[in-house]
Amino acid sequence: MSQTLTEEIILDPAKREFPPFDLARLLTTVFAPTEGCRVCILTDFEDPQPMMKDFAFLNTPGHEVQKKAHEVFYKGLRSGVLDQLGMTGGEMFAYIVAGGSNLDHEDVCFDSQGKQLSLDKDIYPNYDLILCVSTYSATAPLTAKAKQFGFRGATLHGLNDIILNSGLAVDYHEVSRDAEALRLALTRADSFEIDFELEDGRILTAWLGLDRQEAQKSHGLCLGKTPDIANLPAGEVYFVPSDARGQFPMKYEDGTLGVLDVANRSIIRSTLIEGNPETIAAHNQKLADDPMTGTLGELGFGTQILPVSGADIQDEKVLGTCHLATGRDDHLGGDILPSMFKKHQNATHDDILFAPHKTPNFNLREVRMQRDGESTAVIRNFKPTEYLLAALREAREA
C-alpha cells in the first residue's frame, strides 16, 4: 500500500496502516537478486558461548532483540523462505557485544553448538548476505568488512514488534523513491541552521557547514552484487559536516538536560540545564580526555511516515525529525576514523535524535537550509514544511 501524505497521517503517523510483515518480500525487495545467495544471521551477547549453545538464550530472561532474531529471521528463513528465494544457509552466529554504537567487533564468534569461530575466517568470506540483529548498531564495522570481503547485508539493531510491523513492512522501492526526492531537495546545500526552543524560552542555534556536498541517502535497497550494507529500517538523507558552531540541547540517557557548545565542528563543553551535575561532569571529562568524541560526524533528516518505535534506528527515520551524530563517520564517507580516538571504546558513532517523544523538553523550532544565496525552511515544530512536502508529492505523481 502506497504511503499517503494526508494531513492526518503527517500529524499522527500512528494512524498509518501497514501490510503484514513478510520476510520473503523484505529480502527480495532489499537484496534482489537473492538466487544462489548464502545467508546467515549475526547477533550478540556479553557471553555468547553459553548463550548460543543449543540456543540457551531462548530459555533465559531478557535478550529480547536476540530472541526476535531467532524467531523472525532464523526460523523464518527455515520455514520455506530459503527455498522460495533460492538461497542457502540460514545459520545463526553470535559475537561479543561491542559495548557501543558502531564500535569494531572482536573477531571471535560462536555457532549454535557453542563452537568458537572467527568472523574474518569463517563468516565474512563464506556468506553472500549477512543480517545483523544486535544490541548496538553494527553499520560502520560491517560496512568496512563488506568492502573487504565482498558480501552484502543489513543491520537491524534494537529490533522490536513495532519496527517489524511498520518500518520493515513498507515497500522499500517507495522508501527509496521518497528518500531520493528529499535528497535532491536538500543536496548541495551550503549550510543548515537549526533553532531549538527550550522550555524557559531560550533559543539555541546550531550552524553546520556542508561546503555544497552531495547529500547521501539511506534508502534500504542493496541491489545487485556490489558489497554494501543497508541500515534497516531505512529512510533518511544525511550529510557529513565540514564545520559546525553554535549550541544545541542534549538529553542524556538518565534524563539530565544540558546545553552543548560547539566550535570548529566539535562539542567543547556541556552546561547543566537540569538533572544530575555528575552526568555533565562525566561528559566534560570525556571531551577533555579524548576530544575526538565531540566531533560532529553527521547531520541527518528522516524521510518516512512511521510510528514511534522507542528505538532510534526507526525513530530517526521519521519525517520531521533530525539528528546529529558524534564520533566516527568513515562508514558515511567521512574522515573520522577509529584510529583517531585515544581509546578503542570511544570510537563510536552516536546519534543524537531530536523528536517529540525523545526530546519533549526541546522544540525543533525551525531548520533552515542555505543554498545558492537563499534561505529555505525545511522543518518547523517537528513537521516538514511545504517545501519538503511538495518534493514528495512531485516524486509520487511522476
Average pLDDT over residues 298-305: 97
Residues 109 and 131 in one domain: yes
| Predicted local distance difference test score (pLDDT) of residue 15 | 81
Within 116-222, residue ranges assigned H as helices are: 139-149, 161-164, 172-186
Residues 298 and 210 in one domain: yes
Radius of gyration of the chain (CA): 21
Last residue of a domain, one of 105, 133, 164: 164
pLDDT one-digit tens code per residue, 321-376: 999 999 999 999 999 999 999 998 999 999 999 999 999 999 999 999 999 999 99
Closest CA to 185 of 393, 398, 397: 393
Is 16 part of a structural domain of the chain? Answer: no
Residues 214 and 149 in one domain: no
Confidence of residue 172 (pLDDT cuts 50, 70, 90): very high
Residues 250 and 310 in one domain: yes
Residue 36: give the domain boundaries: 21-164
Residues 38 and 118 in one domain: yes
| C-beta of residue 151 within 8 angstroms of C-beta of residue 130 | yes
Residues 354 and 388 in one domain: yes
| Predicted local distance difference test score (pLDDT) of residue 398 | 81
- Whether residue 14 is predicted with pLDDT greater than 90 in this model: the reply is no
Residues 180 and 98 in one domain: no
Last residue of a domain, one of 142, 164, 186: 164
Residues 80, 86, 89, 93: is their CA dihedral positive or negative?
Answer: negative
Residues 142 and 247 in one domain: no
The span from the CA of 239 to the CA of 122, in Å, is 35
Is 1 part of a structural domain of the chain? Answer: no
| C-beta of residue 363 within 8 angstroms of C-beta of residue 204 | no
Residues 69, 155, 303, 206: is their CA dihedral positive or negative?
Answer: positive
Average pLDDT over residues 196-216: 97
Is 28 part of a structural domain of the chain? Answer: yes
The kind and range of the H/E element at 286 are helix 277-289
Question: What is the amino acid identity at position 352?
Answer: I
> What is the three-class DSSP state of 277?
helix
* Peptide bond between residue 33 and the one before it cis (omega within 30 degrees of 0): yes
Confidence of residue 11 (pLDDT cuts 50, 70, 90): low
- Which residues have a Cβ under 8 Å from the Cβ of 281 and sit 6 or more positions away? none
- Biggest alpha carbon–alpha carbon distance for the chain: 62
Is 258 part of a structural domain of the chain? Answer: yes
Is 388 part of a structural domain of the chain? Answer: yes
Confidence of residue 157 (pLDDT cuts 50, 70, 90): very high
| Predicted local distance difference test score (pLDDT) of residue 4 | 54
Confidence of residue 16 (pLDDT cuts 50, 70, 90): confident
**Average per-residue pLDDT for the chain:** 95
pLDDT above 90 coverage of the chain, percent: 94
Cell of 268: 567543547
Closest CA to 44 of 106, 121, 127: 106
Residues 261 and 365 in one domain: yes
- Whether residue 10 is predicted with pLDDT greater than 90 in this model: the reply is no
- Whether residue 87 is predicted with pLDDT greater than 90 in this model: the reply is yes
| Predicted local distance difference test score (pLDDT) of residue 2 | 42
The span from the CA of 149 to the CA of 140, in Å, is 14
Is 128 part of a structural domain of the chain? Answer: yes
Domains identified in the chain, total number: 2
Last residue of a domain, one of 120, 138, 164: 164
Is 7 part of a structural domain of the chain? Answer: no
| C-beta of residue 192 within 8 angstroms of C-beta of residue 210 | yes
Confidence of residue 8 (pLDDT cuts 50, 70, 90): low
Residues 179 and 138 in one domain: no
Residues 180 and 158 in one domain: no
pTM of the complete model: 0.94
Confidence of residue 91 (pLDDT cuts 50, 70, 90): very high
Residues 216 and 137 in one domain: no
| C-beta of residue 194 within 8 angstroms of C-beta of residue 251 | no
Average pLDDT over residues 4-9: 63
| Predicted local distance difference test score (pLDDT) of residue 6 | 63
Q: For the chain, give percent helix, strand, coil, nearest 5.
A: 35, 30, 35
